[in-house]
Amino acid sequence: MKFSHAHILSCVLSEIARMEKTLGSGQRLRILDTGCGHGGLIADALLALDEYFEGRGVEIYGFEVQEHGAGRQRYWDDLNETLYSRFPDSDWSDRIRVASSSEDWPFDDGFFDLVMSNQVLEHVEGLEGFFAQQSRVLKPGGLAIHHFPTVESLVDPHSGVPFGHWSRSDVCRGRNLRVFSRLGIGKYENYRVRRGHSIDQFVDEFVDYLRQFTFFRTLHTVESLSKSAGFATFARYNVALARRWVDEAEDVWPYCGRNEDTWFARVLSRFASVTLVCEK
């Protein structure tokens, strides 16, 4: 399982344990992976949570927006491949839903106990609308867990290039991507070997991608927007994530303690994605 998936699912287990203290235990759990991409987190969640809750009835849904990769056929082929190949007996046609980013999420009010996302918030153009939809589809007492990079990050996680996401113009962005790629820093070598990219192709692809599809914000801005939508908002489990790295642990388990670790999240945000919990 991907490291980030194991971390997010450990956060999910920890938060469910807390919710059950207030909401009661044993009921079916409905979880939404928003911005589910190729479905990898959904697949891992189904296996890990089913095993943990021993057939209690965990339903996992996915949501994607048309404007991003989800508008392309290959995206769907990959998503179907991930889910139907691993879970051929499930009907995914109802579980994975798509809408335009300007529309409401295609789910009823109060449908979910929990919303999660991995590497999505930095791709959301209208984060106010996103949090409003999150609030609408969550039950009272429900919560969301988001794992995402912020603008404080020294390295753009997409291209692997330092400061790649900081440049304001395409020219600066292109220059930056080219210089670091020539120095052997970032993902260019990987793209060259695996996809046959020239340096120009790599630079052009990422200049376009960063301009069109990324909307990096500070951690503080994301926290403020979540609070404005009515969520009690906490940076949590960031210390637990760092411990996981040190231990090279890939298992899923409920983290103990749920202390806020905003101070640590601020440090971590320079180097890696951070985890934020929004409680309705």
Ligand X SMILES: C[S@@+](CC[C@H](N)C(=O)[O-])C[C@H]1O[C@@H](n2cnc3c(N)ncnc32)[C@H](O)[C@@H]1O
As measured in angstroms, the least distance from the Cβ of 263 to ligand X is 26
CA distances from 102 to 76, 80, 130, 272 (A): 20, 24, 9, 29
x/- site string to ligand X, residues 222 to 261, per CB under 6 A? Answer: ----------------------------------------
Residue with Cβ nearer ligand X (109 or 200): 109
Residue with Cβ nearer ligand X (142 or 157): 157
List the Cα angle 132/252/40 in 5-degree steps. Answer: 60
CA 169 to centroid of chain Cα atoms: 26
**Residue whose CB is nearest to ligand X in the complex, by number:** 37
| Residue type at 210 in one-letter notation | L
As measured in angstroms, the least distance from the Cβ of 26 to ligand X is 29
Alpha-carbon distance of 231 to 255, in angstroms, equals 22
Size of the site for ligand X (CB under 6 A): 19
As measured in angstroms, the least distance from the Cβ of 266 to ligand X is 23
Pick one of 14, 34, 238, 269: the residue that binds ligand X (CB under 6 A): 34
Alpha-carbon distance of 24 to 27, in angstroms, equals 8
Alpha-carbon distance of 133 to 217, in angstroms, equals 19
Q: How many residues are there in the chain?
A: 280
As measured in angstroms, the least distance from the Cβ of 65 to ligand X is 4
**Is 96 among the residues that bind ligand X (CB under 6 A)?**
no
As measured in angstroms, the least distance from the Cβ of 27 to ligand X is 26
As measured in angstroms, the least distance from the Cβ of 156 to ligand X is 12
Strand-pairing partners, residue 278, are: 144, 233
**Is 119 among the residues that bind ligand X (CB under 6 A)?**
yes
x/- site string to ligand X, residues 47 to 76, per CB under 6 A? Answer: -----------------xx--xxx------
Strand 274-279 and strand 232-235: the pairing is antiparallel
As measured in angstroms, the least distance from the Cβ of 101 to ligand X is 4
User: Is 148:264 a contact under the CB 8 Å cutoff?
Assistant: no
Q: Of 123-142, which residues contact ligand X (CB under 6 A)?
A: 123-124, 130
Pick one of 11, 31, 120, 241: the residue that binds ligand X (CB under 6 A): 120
Residue with Cβ nearer ligand X (37 or 142): 37
Residue with Cβ nearer ligand X (200 or 250): 250
Residues 6 or more apart whose Cβ sits within 8 Å of residue 220: none
Of 84, 28, 89, 86, the closest CA to residue 60 belongs to 28
CA distances from 121 to 115, 226, 249 (A): 13, 11, 25
**Is 118 among the residues that bind ligand X (CB under 6 A)?**
yes
Of 264, 272, 254, the closest CA to residue 234 belongs to 264
Which residues contribute to the site for ligand X (CB under 6 A)? 34-38, 40-41, 64-65, 68-70, 101, 118-120, 123-124, 130
